[in-house]
Structure 1
Amino acid sequence: MITQTDPIRPTDDEARALARRLISGARFGALGVIDPDSGFPAVTRIALGSGPEGGLWTLVSGLSAHSRALRTDPRVGLLVGEPGAKGDPLTHPRLSLRAEAQPLNRDDPRHGAARARWLADHPKSKLYIDLGDFFFVEFRLLSGALNGGFGRAFRLDAGDLTCQCAP
């Protein structure tokens, strides 16, 4: 009889720290949304950064398909972590996140701080950040699946992912 063992390791402080580093270091990632017209998943690359109090944020155009999708259904998936310069890309750490997208209105008191924080990390966005269709989205992180490299898989909950990522 073959006995299967759970490949997921118990979450420890090292896994939590790695997940938080991947979140705080993310400058872009893959965003998965549910297309409101077809009901199928749709994935796109987006810019990422810290919000005024940390966390994980993005700036999107209201003209994009993914902005319409996340306004229709705030449940999203995010993938952060990039392969290193050498070696098999699948051996490098990456983090799949479940989150809820929370758009930030321009009249929200946090908008000015979000804008300043974003421009500090993404100076080229000065070209479009003030266009009327662009808005910030804060991701409320719910859970994650961390692949820390070969044989290093972990499940994380919201508390494991909490990161005050602003400098």
Structure 2
Amino acid sequence: MPDLFRPTDAAARAQASSLIDSATYAALAVTDPDNGRPSISRIALATDQRGMPLSLISSLAPHTAALEANPACALLIGEPGDKGDPLTHPRLTLHATARIIARETLDHAELLARYLSLRPKAALYADFVDFRFVLFAPEDALLNGGFGKAFRLTAADLDHRG
């Protein structure tokens, strides 16, 4: 069977970066620690200073317990357009390792300032004691840039500001 993935190029890297930068939410896939089955949640999304995905999550959410038990996860980033077949619009499946940031750290304070600059409405709940930041360190990704435009990306391809 022929390789269906195109060679990764600057345009693919730029498209993946644009999808991450413009995303306001993502679907987060985790493994449920109680039964080992996959589980998916919608989460708010922003980026840290390097352009890496970031979210503010509650310790009350089941996906938080799942990430604490097993930080391996995946994010589906990209929104279907208003017209046409949703499957023709670009999307990125990002395989990552989650790192939950403790509230009492300098990292948390820096991420809070960045997150609120990008998502000011989060100020309503960002200081609740059950909310913490989670950074998603990409390991690789699959970019579907539209019909017939599939690419495999490495962590280095995604570290565009490194």
- Normalised by the length of structure 1, the TM-score is 0.93
Corresponding residue for residue 9 of structure 2 = 12
Corresponding residue for residue 46 of structure 1 = 43
Q: Which of residues 114, 117, 129 is equivalent to 2:114?
A: 117
- Kept after mapping to 2: 8 A contact 1:52/1:110: no
Query: Deviations for 1:147-166, whole angstroms, at most 9, x for unmatched residues?
Result: 0000000000000111339x
Corresponding residue for residue 159 of structure 1 = 156
Deviation at 1:108, TM superposition (A): 1.6
SS of equivalent to 1:9: coil
**More displaced 10-residue stretch of structure 1: 114-123 or 97-106:** 114-123
- Normalised by the length of structure 2, the TM-score is 0.96
Corresponding residue for residue 138 of structure 1 = 135
- Kept after mapping to 2: 8 A contact 1:55/1:163: no
Deviation at 1:52, TM superposition (A): 3.9
How many corresponding residue pairs? 162
* Mapped partners of 1:144, 1:54: distance in 2: 15
* Mapped partners of 1:65, 1:33: distance in 2: 10
Corresponding residue for residue 88 of structure 1 = 85
Deviation at 1:53, TM superposition (A): 3.9
Corresponding residue for residue 25 of structure 1 = 22
- Deviant stretches of 4+, over 6 Å: none
Deviation at 1:125, TM superposition (A): 1.1
Letter in 2 for 1:89: P
* Mapped partners of 1:76, 1:53: distance in 2: 20
* Mapped partners of 1:25, 1:162: distance in 2: 16
* RMSD of aligned residue pairs (Cα, Å): 1.2
Unmatched runs of 5 consecutive residues or more in structure 1: none
Structure with the greater alpha carbon radius of gyration = 1
Unmatched runs of 5 consecutive residues or more in structure 2: none
Corresponding residue for residue 71 of structure 2 = 74
Corresponding residue for residue 107 of structure 1 = 104
SS of equivalent to 1:110: helix
Query: Deviations for 1:135-157, whole angstroms, at most 9, x for unmatched residues?
Result: 00000000000000000000000
- Kept after mapping to 2: 8 A contact 1:9/1:154: yes
Query: Deviations for 1:122-144, whole angstroms, at most 9, x for unmatched residues?
Result: 11111111011100000000000
Deviation at 1:65, TM superposition (A): 0.2
Corresponding residue for residue 150 of structure 1 = 147
Query: Deviations for 1:88-125, whole angstroms, at most 9, x for unmatched residues?
Result: 11000000010000001112212111111111111111
